[in-house]
Amino acid sequence: MSHVEQDDHSNNLNAESSDFSQIVEKGLSRRRFLQASAATSTIAFFTASPLANAMARPPKTQSLLGFDPIAASTADTVIVPRGYQAQSFIAWGDAIHPSAAAFSQTNSSADQENQFGDNNDGMTFLLLDRNRAVLAVNNESTSYSTLFEDSGNTLTAEKVRRSQAAVGVSIVELQRAHRGDWQVNVNGRLNRRITAYTEMELTGPAAGDDKLKTHADPSGTQVLGTFNNCANGSTPWGTYLTCEENFNGFFGSQNKIDVPDEDARYGINSGDGWFNWHQFDDRFDIEKEPNENHRHGWVVEIDPMNPQSKPKKRTALGRFKHENAALTINKNGRVVVYLGDDERGEHLYKFVSKGKYNEHKPEKNRDLLDEGTLYVAKFDAKDGEMHGDGEWIELTFGQNGLTPENGFNNQADVLIFARQAATQVGATTMDRPEWVAINPKSDQVFCTLTNNKYRGVREGQEINAANPRENNIYGHIIRWEPKNGNHASSKFFWDIYVMAGNPELYSNDDPRSGSTNITADNMFNSPDGIGFDNAGRLWIQTDGNYSNSGDFAGMGNNQMLCGDPNTGEIKRFLSGPTGCEITGLTFSPDNRTLFVGIQHPTGDFSAIDGIPRSTVIKITREDGGVIGA
């Protein structure tokens, strides 16, 4: 890839460096990461970066971060800054219909269908009118250790059914009596559970393909359920996007069989697995239903306004272990969706719709996600630099080697086996792409690369400019800016916003110390959930090592931080209870209420009868002000 091209950013190349670059340049030369020879000149990271310089001269404003940061903590509770309050909002097993049974480990699958699901993750707040809203929440998974009294040591068909009812999506109506005081409305007409057996439709270019047909569905278009719903997205036409991640863990087989290579790439295994649904539900036995697993690993679009609507699995967005779906309407009206595939050495994708968003005729937008082009990212840089340009490579049958000679016979093959297509076209292997977030105040896009212990260690996961740290146990956040601010462009510029690390343990010249915007006061590892608020504050959630010891000493429990994308400053905002990850965030439109997910706590958090429960918490300011300001 050529680095000669200079575009409209080039006139900034000699501009004085930004505040941000001054903060990080000391600590972030790729030379330090690669331990290059003394002959390599020291690279001042960011100083010569077109991206950094594009943001080099923002008006001098005060920091976006107006709260007093909190210290790291190992306490089994939620801690927020002075002047803020956090309350439990809704938890696994709470009623979402008036007839729901009270939470108990002995609840039935039918009981669970009327209760909030387990392991809440990504979520979206949708305002209906001044005092009425909908909260759509993913229920990523369930934990047999808390779901069943016997930890699932013995399974039955009903226990499998209950496990299937505990996952998927929960949609709940909210109402408020007065400002900021949002509450769940158990009687809400829109309240709905979507489970691993809800009827759905496969749509888009792969729908009806032979590889999606099963005994129960010879059409290859009708599928039951969604599960491992990790993170999310939403559309301006009022729908919710739920993203299917580690679907492989729900499949297995009674007999040990050879798993086809194409499925092994997605982690499908024979024999027993995480949940053993196959023991009582043939659909999940890969020997009996070898194609069922191809019907999962998609982005699913749900209309929360119509409780009878069939969710649609949008195959045009590709099949992989989807983290979230960051959607924007491009300047030319096309819908652009950025998508991460959370696995070590997998890839980062982008979908661009064929049709254009129609603000005035909502019905015209209904199937925009069915037709368009999928791309995968390739990051380039000059030798010794940790910023550069990049290219979106098209994943279209017949192009870029996606041909029958290489095993792709049509577009359905390209989409169902998007990972193989990405490899075929030479996409960059990444350190586990988790959430993507688009800054509403700029054209910049951020993606968490949570960690990758195999980087530089395993074959096929060689160090590259965008993933520069060997044995990357702390993770980093990469960002890019599309050429000319056009998200449909195939070109972009990129750099790294933060390298997490432990500057207390490791000296400045050790890559494990992280970038210089990491200090003893804001250390964290494994960034995962991210999102922007209206003011352009970047909220960062962690799903990492909470031992508070060894390499992770001083980091405490999983947490939520807030970053200023202009200055690089990062402050810790929240510390979670024991054993949890912090995942899922959504604001009320006025940004005065923030909902945050506490997933799989292991202590006493939200406990009933000693069973800790995943919980959505609600955060407000005591003075009713804007969160983070």
Residue of 543, 569, 570, 621 interacting with Ca ion (CB under 5 A): 543
Q: How far is the CB of 431 from ligand FEO (least distance, A)?
A: 12
Q: How far is the CB of 228 from ligand FEO (least distance, A)?
A: 7
Query: Which CB, 46 or 435, lies closer to ligand FEO?
Result: 435
Contact flag: residue 528 with Ca ion (CB under 5 A) = yes
Residues 6+ apart with CB under 8 A from 88: 606, 615, 616, 617, 618
Query: Which CB, 52 or 447, lies closer to ligand FEO?
Result: 447
Q: With CB cut-offs between 5 and 8 Å by kind, which of Ca ion, ligand FEO, none does residue 281 bind?
A: none
Q: How far is the CB of 119 from ligand FEO (least distance, A)?
A: 9
Q: With CB cut-offs between 5 and 8 Å by kind, which of ligand FEO, Ca ion, none does residue 245 bind?
A: ligand FEO
Footprint of ligand FEO on 244-273 (CB under 6 A): 245
Q: How far is the CB of 541 from ligand FEO (least distance, A)?
A: 10
CA 203 centroid distance within chain: 22
Q: How far is the CB of 527 from ligand FEO (least distance, A)?
A: 11
CA separation for the pair 629, 622 (Å, rounded)? 13
3-class SS at 424? helix
Report which of 63, 12, 35 is spatially closest to residue 567, judged by C-alpha positions. Answer: 63
Query: Which CB, 246 or 593, lies closer to ligand FEO?
Result: 246
| Pairing assessment for the beta strands 312-314 and 334-341 based on DSSP bridges | unpaired
Query: Which CB, 370 or 543, lies closer to Ca ion?
Result: 543
Distances (CA, A) of 415 to 200, 330, 412, 540: 19, 23, 5, 30
Report which of 496, 348, 555 is spatially closest to residue 433, judged by C-alpha positions. Answer: 348
How many residues touch ligand FEO under the rule CB under 6 A: the total is 6
CA 190 centroid distance within chain: 25
CA separation for the pair 419, 263 (Å, rounded)? 11
Binding mask 420-459 for ligand FEO (x = CB under 6 A): --------------x-------------------------
Dmax (CA) for the chain in angstroms is 73
Query: Which CB, 352 or 478, lies closer to ligand FEO?
Result: 478
Q: How far is the CB of 529 from ligand FEO (least distance, A)?
A: 8
Residues 6+ apart with CB under 8 A from 345: 429, 430, 452, 454, 458, 460, 461
> Given strand 222-224, what is the order of strands in its sheet?
222-224, 199-203, 312-314, 299-302, 240-244, 229-234
Distances (CA, A) of 280 to 164, 223, 283, 512: 12, 18, 9, 47
Q: How far is the CB of 245 from ligand FEO (least distance, A)?
A: 5
CA separation for the pair 77, 524 (Å, rounded)? 18
Contact flag: residue 301 with ligand FEO (CB under 6 A) = no
Q: How far is the CB of 184 from ligand FEO (least distance, A)?
A: 24
Binding mask 432-451 for Ca ion (x = CB under 5 A): ------------------x-
Footprint of ligand FEO on 130-189 (CB under 6 A): 140
Residue 364 backbone dihedrals phi, psi, to 5 degrees: -70, -20
Contact flag: residue 342 with ligand FEO (CB under 6 A) = yes
Q: With CB cut-offs between 5 and 8 Å by kind, which of ligand FEO, Ca ion, none does residue 341 bind?
A: none
Binding mask 224-243 for ligand FEO (x = CB under 6 A): ------x-------------
Q: Are 285 and 268 in contact (CB under 8 A)?
A: no
Query: Which CB, 51 or 339, lies closer to ligand FEO?
Result: 339
Footprint of ligand FEO on 309-338 (CB under 6 A): 323
Q: Are 388 and 382 in contact (CB under 8 A)?
A: yes
Binding mask 481-500 for ligand FEO (x = CB under 6 A): --------------------
Q: How far is the CB of 76 from Ca ion (least distance, A)?
A: 19
Buried b (16+ CB within 10 A) or exposed e, 251-278: bbbeeeeebeebbebbbbbbeebebbbb
Query: Which CB, 289 or 342, lies closer to ligand FEO?
Result: 342
Q: Are 21 and 47 in contact (CB under 8 A)?
A: yes
Q: How far is the CB of 586 from Ca ion (least distance, A)?
A: 15
CA separation for the pair 29, 47 (Å, rounded)? 11
Query: Which CB, 301 or 434, lies closer to ligand FEO?
Result: 434
Q: How far is the CB of 230 from ligand FEO (least distance, A)?
A: 3
Which tokens go with 484? 């000319």
Query: Which CB, 242 or 293, lies closer to ligand FEO?
Result: 242
Residue 129: is it exposed, middle or buried by C-beta count within 10 angstroms (0-12/13-18/19+)? exposed
Query: Which CB, 342 or 385, lies closer to Ca ion?
Result: 342
Q: How many CB atoms lie within 10 A of CB 557?
A: 28
Query: Which CB, 209 or 323, lies closer to ligand FEO?
Result: 323
Query: Which CB, 111 or 342, lies closer to ligand FEO?
Result: 342
Q: How far is the CB of 46 from Ca ion (least distance, A)?
A: 27
Given the rule CB under 5 A, which residues bind Ca ion? 450, 528, 543
Given the rule CB under 6 A, which residues bind ligand FEO? 140, 230, 245, 323, 342, 434
